[in-house]
Amino acid sequence: MQPAGVSEQRLRLVIVDDHDLLREGIRSRLQDEDFVDIIGEGRNGLEAVDLCRTLRPDVILLDISMPEMNGLEAASRIREIVPLTKILFLSIFDTEEYVQEALRIGVNGFVLKDVSKPEMINAIRSVAQGATYLGPRVTASLANKSASSDDFGLSVREKEVLAAISQGLSNRDIAEQLSISVRTVESHRLSIREKTGGGNAIALSKIAEKLGL
């Protein structure tokens, strides 16, 4: 018999973010809620994939920008390994490209990191029930940042490579940071030059600054 105030089926939740304080904050928000059990926590994309493979949670709260493997790549692998796990991105990024890429992968929801507790709970419940949840601020941001902004048609990955180039990183360093091959970095760099017209690292750095990367 279930104790009073405890639901019969509690959602099994995993939280993955490379910032310890953020994970602790989310845990403190949710640990007293009677609808959810936090069954695992991780610090990077590789751990996110491993946790989902072994624990098979109902929902994973997943950051985008993480070491080892970013959230977009982790979400893609999780979708293949445990298709029944619902993926909810909790991110500081609200750009149209990130949201569209997340939805293309099959992510179930997208909210910002400074979301209120009621909205976080609403988002978790919604995706657990099979809905696609975009927080009000994410939806408003998409409306305000329509395709009229000139981003040269760069993909999310190309923007990540461009940002790394602007930091003065070598192709090998970029490959290690993004967990991709040097050949893939070279391919992205060529594509970026073709799309933006930037011929060298200095020109590309100025373009990255213009785009706010």
- Pairwise pLDDT comparison (149 vs 105), residue with the higher score: 105
What pLDDT, on a 0 to 100 scale, did the predictor assign at position 94? 66
Of 95 and 32, the structure prediction assigns the larger pLDDT to: 32
Q: What is the pLDDT of residues 109-147, one digit of tens each?
A: 998 888 889 999 999 999 999 988 987 777 766 655 544
Q: Which of 110, 144, 178 is the last residue of a domain?
A: 144
User: Above 70 in pLDDT, residue 7?
Assistant: no
Least confident stretch, 10-14, 40-44, 179-183 = 179-183
Q: What is the CATH number of the domain that holds 165?
A: 1.10.10.10
Tell me the CA distances in angstroms from 133 to 64, 71, 167, one per residue in order. Answer: 16, 17, 34
Does 123 map to a domain? yes
User: Does residue 198 surpass a pLDDT of 70?
Assistant: no
pLDDT tens, 153-195?
788 888 888 888 888 888 899 998 888 889 888 888 888 887 7
**Final residue of a domain: which of 87, 112, 144?**
144
204 and 138 in a common domain: no
User: 172 and 90, same structural domain?
Assistant: no
Residue 4 scores a pLDDT above 60:
no
Question: Within a 10 A sphere around the Cβ of 13, how many other Cβ atoms?
Answer: 26
* 65, 18: one domain: yes
**Is 68 a member of any domain?**
yes
Domain that holds residue 166: 156-210
pLDDT band per the 50, 70, 90 thresholds, residue 75: very high
Spatial contact of 101 and 163, defined as CB atoms under 8 Å apart: no
The verdict on 43 and 113 lying in the same domain is yes
pLDDT recorded at residue 2: 42
In a domain, 6, yes or no: no
Q: Do 83 and 133 sit in the same domain of this protein?
A: yes
Q: What is the pTM of this model?
A: 0.64
* Residue 204 near residue 196 (C-beta atoms within 8 A): yes
Predicted confidence band of residue 8 (pLDDT cuts 50, 70, 90): low
Residues 136, 161, single domain; the answer is no
Residues 203 and 176 in one domain: yes
Lowest mean pLDDT segment, chosen from 3-7, 35-39, 136-140: 3-7
For the chain, the domain total comes to 2
* Amino acid (1-letter code) at residue 117: K
Among 144, 172, 197, the domain-final residue is 144
Structural domain includes residue 65: yes
The domain that holds 30 is classified in CATH as 3.40.50.2300
Number of Cα atoms under 13 Å in the Cβ half of residue 177:
17
Helices (H), 42-200: 45-55, 71-81, 96-105, 117-128, 136-144, 156-166, 171-178, 182-196
pLDDT of residue 148: 42
| Side-by-side strand order, sheet with 109-112 | 36-42, 11-16, 59-62, 86-91, 109-112, 133-134
Asked whether residue 103 falls in the same domain as residue 178, the answer is no
